[in-house]
Amino acid sequence: MDVLTVLLIATTAFLAYAVGSGFERTSRNNRYARATKGELETRSFKPGEGKALPYYRAGRGLIMSNGEFAFYRALSRAVGEEFDIMTKVRAAAVVSCSRANWAAGYGTPIAQKELDFVLLRPGTSYVVAAVELDDKTHDLPERQERDAFLDAAFESASVPLVRFKALSRYRAEEIRVHIREQVGRRKVVSPRDSVRHLAPAHTHS
């Protein structure tokens, strides 16, 4: 057997070993990935075996801070008979954009934000206005940038966004007047207009 033949046999054997090892390693990784995925799914939906899920009561059981709750009580006195009041509402539940604009990057900034309060037409889930309580953190540059974006987004969607400075005490009448001024000076899209806006246009062949 000449040298060339020996080299050819050795090269072929090496390549076969390398390919086989790579296939085995890929197969092992895939099995591990499937097992890990299955384990995570099991952890998510079937804790089992007495294992407790790693959750605890947030905010010591309080959904609002003391400052937010103080304002909420004043807000309820001010407009509680005119509107239903919700708190901690996702901004994306109030304003949104098309799928194309969402994919273009306009959706994520809205999806990441939460509103302090939302005023609803009584007995319905129709949004009349959003209310933000601005404490000292809103004086920070990054918060001011966030606030400016929210103001522009809500203005674009024709949804009033009413802001109040956080205070130690509130007067219900002042809150009522400010909300009426802000809601009254903007055109609020009615539910019928919203349905008409979202309905697809009819085409004629």
pLDDT at 196: 37
pLDDT at 32: 47
pLDDT at 198: 36
Q: Which sign, positive or negative, has the C-alpha torsion 43, 47, 50, 54?
A: positive
φ/ψ bin of 105: left (φ > 0), alpha (ψ from -120 to 50), beta (otherwise): left
For residue 24, give both structure tokens. Answer: 């085995």
pLDDT at 192: 45
CB 124 within 8 A of CB 190: no
Given a cut of 70, the residues of the chain with pLDDT beneath it are: 1-50, 185-205
pLDDT at 182: 92
Residue range 74-92, pLDDT digits in tens? 999 999 999 999 999 999 9
pLDDT at 23: 47
Q: pTM (2 decimals)?
A: 0.66
SS3 100: helix
Cα separation, 10 vs 18, in Å, equals 12
pLDDT at 60: 82
